[in-house]
């Protein structure tokens, strides 16, 4: 249907744009593998794989990565539970007052962290929840509720009505229906929610910077500190950066379809 | 709880549904409670804080609209709006133009290998922003790849410390935003064009439309919804830029890359003028809301 020249032009355009995206990442990768502290590119045989181990040790990533993993896992687990409950309520059961309650929930997707961070910090300080993991996990959870409800509500509404009706005939209560039927049937949407929630939590910088200090630093904040100290050691700084980016990138390699479709669908929420 | 949940016999279906809605409220209570505690209450408090003068420690005093006045009149704080406008050019307009161009070039084709390209174009969206900031700090460094390339082609006079330059730091930051968002716009537009009915393209072709007319008559109108989404997301991203600036320039040199979010952070936590910080947050939230509403309204007209 399309001519050969058009096809060739398409590939040329795509390749040029792809190269523009990959070039900066590529230079970073090369710098991370350079034995030279300036990050000068070297041949394959001279790659300094040890940079990753050195950066890991010098930046004390064992601790920071542990913090990040603990926070991310707790947030993802909590997020899924809250989203299942909220999504099921708004999507299947209906909620008293949902005519105004649901818009209030959706509004949350447009409220940026900047609008609430100041009172959050000073309130949490009075309750001793600053510089504590439960505190930051709670904030991540609250910020994630609107998307979670929006996402799972849509997933539950896409399920065939008849399934609910026949389960109800069998005398299943709402909680059992959610656990044994609706949630398993909506599994693809739950997986996407898990991936997105993990990515957002892992990549967060602002919230961690404000709330966590010292031993509680997450990997992203620790990386910021590390790069400030290693300004002249480009190779280690780059290696550290790749370590922090790695968990999400690995998931992205494996689940690219879910990431892309989830983020596109999440964007087109109106 | 499960025991009381259902008793389908007896009672009208209407009553049944109504009871379900109360059970629904019970299900939603936990998520709604967390949401109210973390988002809604602090949101109201932000507005309250913004009317006070407070250093975070001693007693606060009523300030009326002073904090807002300061934000809008202080030359340094006001300059952040100008910076945001520049950033919007790089975060929103440029990526959308590039995304449309590529979508236009690619609509006629559904070719093998698209999945690989999509993976690459979307990559900046999933990368940790702090890492992206470091990647570009390296690119823009005095002896980094950009300056090396300029020197290699004899443009030595253009080589500079990009992020330390009063004129160039802001556009250099902006280009990072272009790099981050253009792939997203592109994938969004390409998926949007694939949803346009092929008959429209066939009809245009029968009418003898070339690629350019086809783009303006079919592709562009078909992408209205996606355009609205892309504009909303990228403009608010420009307005909210924090990580990139904080890791690369801290708002400097001088205040040449100061954004509202960075100004907010400094006012809230470094040299506490808490009321001012809250006012900045409130203004940013209102702007985000207005932008989203205006863009949605305009895109839905006629």
Residues in A touching B131 (Cβ below 8 Å): 223, 241-242, 244-245
On whether residue A1 sits in a domain, the answer given is no
Asked if residue B125 has pLDDT above 70, the reply is yes
Inform me whether the C-beta atom of residue A264 falls under 8 Å from chain B C-beta atoms: yes
Are A79 and A120 in contact, with CB atoms under 8 Å apart? no
B146-205 pLDDT per residue, tens: 988 899 888 888 888 899 899 999 999 999 999 999 889 988 998 888 888 888 888 888
H or E element, residue B62:
strand B61-62
Integer Cα distance of A52 and A66 in angstroms? 17
Count of structural domains, chain A: 1
For residue A85, what pLDDT is reported?
Answer: 96
Are A216 and A133 in contact, with CB atoms under 8 Å apart? yes
In three-state secondary structure terms, B207 is coil
On whether residue A34 sits in a domain, the answer given is no
Integer Cα distance of A264 and B194 in angstroms? 14
Of B86, B167, B176, B166, whose CA–CA distance to B140 is shortest?
Answer: B176
Q: Which of residues 109-138 of A touch B (CB under 8 A)?
A: 110-112, 114-123, 138
For residue B287, what pLDDT is reported?
Answer: 92
For residue B5, what pLDDT is reported?
Answer: 42
Of B200, B224, B226, B225, whose CA–CA distance to B213 is shortest?
Answer: B200
For residue B109, what pLDDT is reported?
Answer: 55
Are A118 and B281 in contact, with CB atoms under 8 Å apart? yes
**Confidence class for position B2, pLDDT limits 50, 70, 90:** very low
How far is B211 from chain A, CA to nearest CA, in Å? 11
On whether residue A39 sits in a domain, the answer given is no
Domain that includes residue A185, residue range: 63-222+244-267
Integer Cα distance of A94 and A87 in angstroms? 10
Token duo for residue A8: 């060739």
Q: Do B129 and A205 touch (CB under 8 A)?
A: yes
DSSP assignment letter at B216? I
| Per-residue 3-state assignment (H helix, E strand, C coil) for B255-302 | CCCCCHHHHHHHHHHHCCCHHHHHHHHHHHHHHHHHHHHHHHHHHHCC
Residues in B touching A118 (Cβ below 8 Å): 42, 46, 49, 264, 268, 274, 277-278, 281
Residues in chain A: 270
Inform me whether the C-beta atom of residue B102 falls under 8 Å from chain A C-beta atoms: yes
Instruction: Kindly calculate the radius of gyration of chain B based on its CA atoms and give it in whole angstroms.
Output: 25
Integer Cα distance of A136 and A254 in angstroms? 28
Please tell me the pTM assigned to this model: 0.91
Burial class of A20 by CB neighbour count within 10 A (0 to 12, 13 to 18, 19+): middle
The overall average pLDDT reported for chain B is: 86
For residue A204, what pLDDT is reported?
Answer: 94
Integer Cα distance of B195 and B218 in angstroms? 12
State the number of CA atoms in the 13 A half-sphere of B290 facing the CB. 7
Task: Give Dmax (Cα) for chain A.
Answer: 71
For residue B3, what pLDDT is reported?
Answer: 42
Cis peptide before B253 (omega within 30 of 0): yes
Residues in B touching A98 (Cβ below 8 Å): 21, 24
What string of DSSP letters covers B220-258? HHHTHHHHHHHHHHHHHHHHH--HHHHHHTTT-STTTT-
Distances, alpha carbon A169 to alpha carbons A173, B5, B60, in Å: 10, 13, 61
Burial class of A201 by CB neighbour count within 10 A (0 to 12, 13 to 18, 19+): buried
More confident residue, B2 or B35: B35
Integer Cα distance of B181 and B122 in angstroms? 9
Q: Do A149 and B31 touch (CB under 8 A)?
A: yes
Asked if residue B14 has pLDDT above 60, the reply is no
β strands within B191-284, DSSP E:
none
Question: What mean pLDDT do residues B132-152 have?
Answer: 90
Q: Do A118 and B34 touch (CB under 8 A)?
A: no
Residues in B touching A17 (Cβ below 8 Å): 98, 102, 121, 182, 186
Q: Do B126 and A249 touch (CB under 8 A)?
A: yes
Inform me whether the C-beta atom of residue B31 falls under 8 Å from chain A C-beta atoms: yes
Token duo for residue B94: 């440029």
**Confidence class for position B15, pLDDT limits 50, 70, 90:** low
β strands within chain A, DSSP E:
none
Q: Do A119 and B123 touch (CB under 8 A)?
A: no
For residue B140, what pLDDT is reported?
Answer: 92
Q: How far does CA B79 lie from the centroid of its chain?
A: 20
**Sign, Cα dihedral of B255, B261, B267, B271:** negative
Asked if residue B262 has pLDDT above 70, the reply is yes
Tens digit of pLDDT at every position of chain A (270 positions): 567 787 788 888 888 989 999 999 999 999 999 888 887 888 888 888 889 999 999 888 999 999 999 999 999 999 999 999 999 999 988 899 889 999 999 888 888 888 899 999 998 988 888 899 999 999 999 999 999 999 999 999 998 888 888 877 887 788 888 888 889 999 999 999 999 999 999 999 999 999 998 889 999 999 999 888 888 788 899 999 999 999 999 999 999 989 998 888 877 654
Q: Do B240 and A94 touch (CB under 8 A)?
A: no
Residues in B touching A1 (Cβ below 8 Å): 108
For residue A141, what pLDDT is reported?
Answer: 96
DSSP assignment letter at A261? H
Alpha-carbon dihedral angle through residues A233, A237, A239, A241, given to the nearest 10 degrees: -170
Integer Cα distance of A34 and B145 in angstroms? 14
Q: Do B134 and A227 touch (CB under 8 A)?
A: yes
On whether residue A231 sits in a domain, the answer given is no
Closest chain A residue to the Cα of B43, Cα to Cα: A116
CATH of the domain at A207: 1.10.3720.10
For residue B12, what pLDDT is reported?
Answer: 46
Integer Cα distance of A168 and B225 in angstroms? 39
In three-state secondary structure terms, B156 is helix
For residue A14, what pLDDT is reported?
Answer: 85
Inform me whether the C-beta atom of residue B181 falls under 8 Å from chain A C-beta atoms: no
Burial class of A210 by CB neighbour count within 10 A (0 to 12, 13 to 18, 19+): buried
- Domain B71-300: CATH class, spelled out: mainly alpha
């Amino acid at each position: 249907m399309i001519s050969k020249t058009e096809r060739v032009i398409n590939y040329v355009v795509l390749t040029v744009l792809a190269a523009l995206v990959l070039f900066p990442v590529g230079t970073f990768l090369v710098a991370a593998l350079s034995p030279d502290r300036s990050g000068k590119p070297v041949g394959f045989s001279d790659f300094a794989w040890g940079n990753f181990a050195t950066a890991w040790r010098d930046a004390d990533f064992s601790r920071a990565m542990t913090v990040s993993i603990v926070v991310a896992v707790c947030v993802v687990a909590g997020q899924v539970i809250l989203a299942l409950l909220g999504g099921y309520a708004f999507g299947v059961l209906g909620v008293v007052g949902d005519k105004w309650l649901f818009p209030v929930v959706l509004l949350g997707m447009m409220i940026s962290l900047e609008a609430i961070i100041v009172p959050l910090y000073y309130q949490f300080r009075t309750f001793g929840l600053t510089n504590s993991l439960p505190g930051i996990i709670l904030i991540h959870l609250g910020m994630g509720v609107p998307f979670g409800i929006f996402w799972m509500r849509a997933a539950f509404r896409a399920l065939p009505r008849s399934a609910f009706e026949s389960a109800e005939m069998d005398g299943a209560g709402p909680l059992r229906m959610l656990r044994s039927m609706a949630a398993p049937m909506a599994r693809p949407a739950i997986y996407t929610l898990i991936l997105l929630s993990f990515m957002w939590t892992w990549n967060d910088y602002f919230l961690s910077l404000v709330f966590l200090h010292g031993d509680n630093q997450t990997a992203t904040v620790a990386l910021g500190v590390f790069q400030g100290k290693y300004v002249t050691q480009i190779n280690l700084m780059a290696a550290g950066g790749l370590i922090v980016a790695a968990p999400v990138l690995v998931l992205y390699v494996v689940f690219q379809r879910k990431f892309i479709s989830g983020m596109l669908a999440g964007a087109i929420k109106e | 709880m499960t025991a009381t949940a259902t008793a389908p016999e007896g009672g009208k279906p209407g009553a049944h549904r109504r009871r379900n809605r109360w059970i629904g409220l019970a299900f939603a209570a936990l998520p709604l409670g967390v949401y109210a505690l973390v988002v809604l209450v602090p949101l109201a408090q932000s507005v309250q804080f913004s009317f006070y003068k407070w250093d975070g420690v001693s007693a606060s005093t009523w300030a009326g609209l002073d904090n807002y006045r300061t934000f809008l009149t202080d030359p340094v704080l006001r300059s952040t709006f100008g910076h945001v406008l520049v950033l919007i050019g790089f975060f929103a307009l440029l990526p959308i133009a590039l995304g449309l161009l590529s979508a236009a070039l690619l609509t006629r084709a559904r070719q093998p290998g698209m999945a690989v390209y999509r993976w690459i174009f979307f990559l900046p969206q999933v990368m940790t922003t702090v890492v992206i900031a470091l990647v570009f700090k390296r690119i823009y460094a005095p002896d980094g790849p950009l300056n090396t390339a300029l020197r290699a082609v004899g443009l030595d006079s253009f080589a500079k410390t990009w992020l330390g330059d009063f004129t160039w730091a802001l556009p250099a930051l902006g280009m990072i935003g272009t790099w981050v968002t253009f792939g997203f716009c592109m994938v969004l537009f390409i998926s949007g064009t694939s949803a346009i009915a092929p008959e429209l393209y066939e009809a245009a072709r029968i009418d003898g439309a070339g690629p350019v007319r086809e783009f303006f008559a079919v592709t562009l109108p078909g992408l209205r919804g996606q355009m609205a989404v892309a504009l909303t997301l990228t403009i608010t991203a420009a307005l909210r830029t924090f990580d990139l600036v904080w890791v690369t320039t801290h708002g400097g040199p001088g205040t040449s890359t100061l954004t509202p979010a960075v100004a907010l952070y400094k006012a809230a936590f470094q040299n506490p003028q808490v009321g001012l910080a809250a006012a900045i947050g409130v203004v940013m939230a209102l702007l985000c809301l207005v932008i989203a509403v205006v863009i949605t309204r305009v895109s839905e007209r006629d």
